[in-house]
Chain A
Amino acid sequence: MMNHVKTLETMATEYRERTRSIERRIVVCAGTGCIAGGSLKVHEALVRVAEERGLDVKVSVRYETDDQHPGSSIHVSGSGCQGFCQMGPLVTLEPDGILYTKVKVEDAEDIVTAMIDGSGPVTRLLYHEPGKDEACTGPEDIPFYQRQTRRVLGDCGRLDPEDVGEYIAHDGYQAARQAWTHFSPAEVCAQVTESGLRGRGGGGFPTGRKWRLTLDQPGDHKVVVCNGDEGDPGAFMDRSVMEGNPHSVVEGMLIAARAVGADRGLVYVRAEYPLAVSRMRKAVEDAKSLGFLGDDVLGTSRPFHLEVMEGAGAFVCGEETALLASVAGRRGMPSPKPPFPSERGLDGQPTVINNVETLASIPLILRKGPEEYRRLGTATSPGTKTFALTGHVANTGLIEVPFGTTLREVVETIGGGVTDDRGNLIDEPFKAVQIGGPSGGCLTRDHLDLPLDFDSLGTVGAMVGSGGLVVMNQRTCMVKVARFFMQFTQNESCGKCVPCREGTRQMLILLDDIIEGRGTPDTLALLERTANTVSRASLCGLGKTAPSPVLSTLRHFRDEYEAHVLHEHCPAGQCEAFSVPEIDPELCRGCMVCLRRCPVNAISGSRKEPHVIDPEECIRCGACVEACKFNAIVGV
Chain B
Amino acid sequence: MTPAEALIQTRQFERVCEILDDHDRDPRSLIPILHAVQEEYRYLPEKVLAFVANALDIPPARVYGVATFYAHFALAPRGKHVIKLCDGTACHVRGSIDLLGAVKNELHLDDDQHTTPDMLFTVETVSCLGACGLAPVMVIDDEVHGLLTAEEAVKLVRNVRHGEEAAS
Q: Do the beta carbons of B94 and A233 come within 8 Å of each other?
A: no
Answer whether residue A247 sits at the interface, using C-beta atoms and an 8 A cutoff: no
Q: Do the beta carbons of B133 and A86 come within 8 Å of each other?
A: yes
Contact of B127 among A233, A273, A423 (CB under 8 A): A233
Alpha-carbon distance A87/B134, docked complex (angstroms): 9
A83 to chain B, nearest CB (A): 9
Interface residues of B in 26-57 (CB under 8 A from A): 26-32, 34-35
**B89 closest partner in A (C-beta):** A234
Assess A37 versus B146: contact at CB under 8 Å? Given A272-B129, A313-B71, A314-B69.
yes
Q: Which of B94, B133, B134, B137 has the most CB of A within 10 A?
A: B133
In the complex, chain A residues whose CB is within 8 Å of the CB of B32? 309-310
Question: C-beta contact mask, A293-329 vs B, less than 8 Å → 1, else 0?
Answer: 0000000000000000111111100000000001111
Q: Do the beta carbons of A390 and B130 come within 8 Å of each other?
A: no
Q: Chain B contact residues (Cβ within 8 angstroms of A): what range? A: 35 or more
Number of residue pairs spanning A and B whose beta carbons lie under 8 angstroms apart: 148
Assess A272 versus B133: contact at CB under 8 Å? Given A391-B90, A472-B93.
no
Interface residues of A in 312-356 (CB under 8 A from B): 312-315, 326-332
Answer whether residue B65 sits at the interface, using C-beta atoms and an 8 A cutoff: yes
Answer whether residue A578 sits at the interface, using C-beta atoms and an 8 A cutoff: no
Answer whether residue B135 sits at the interface, using C-beta atoms and an 8 A cutoff: yes
Q: Do the beta carbons of B89 and A331 come within 8 Å of each other?
A: no
Interface residues of B in 89-127 (CB under 8 A from A): 89-90, 92-95, 126-127
Alpha-carbon distance A476/B92, docked complex (angstroms): 11
In the complex, chain B residues whose CB is within 8 Å of the CB of A392? 93-94
Alpha-carbon distance A379/B149, docked complex (angstroms): 45
In the complex, chain A residues whose CB is within 8 Å of the CB of B94? 391-392, 421
A122 to chain B, nearest CB (A): 23
Q: Do the beta carbons of B62 and A330 come within 8 Å of each other?
A: yes
A393 to chain B, nearest CB (A): 10
Contact of A233 among B95, B128, B144 (CB under 8 A): B128
Q: Do the beta carbons of A32 and B131 come within 8 Å of each other?
A: yes
Answer whether residue A605 sits at the interface, using C-beta atoms and an 8 A cutoff: no
Alpha-carbon distance A465/B143, docked complex (angstroms): 29
Question: C-beta contact mask, B138-158 vs A, less than 8 Å → 1, else 0?
Answer: 000011111101000000000
In the complex, chain B residues whose CB is within 8 Å of the CB of A421? 94-95
Chain A residues at the B interface, C-beta cutoff of 8 Å: 32-33, 35-37, 85-86, 88, 230-236, 239, 271-274, 309-315, 326-332, 388, 390-392, 396-398, 421-423, 434, 437, 468, 470, 472, 476, 481, 484-485, 488, 491-492, 494
A to B CB contacts below 8 Å, 7 in the list:
A32-B130, A33-B146, A36-B143, A37-B146, A313-B73, A330-B66, A396-B90
8 additional contacts (CB under 8 A) given A313-B70, A388-B132: A33-B134, A231-B128, A235-B132, A313-B71, A331-B69, A396-B135, A397-B133, A468-B90
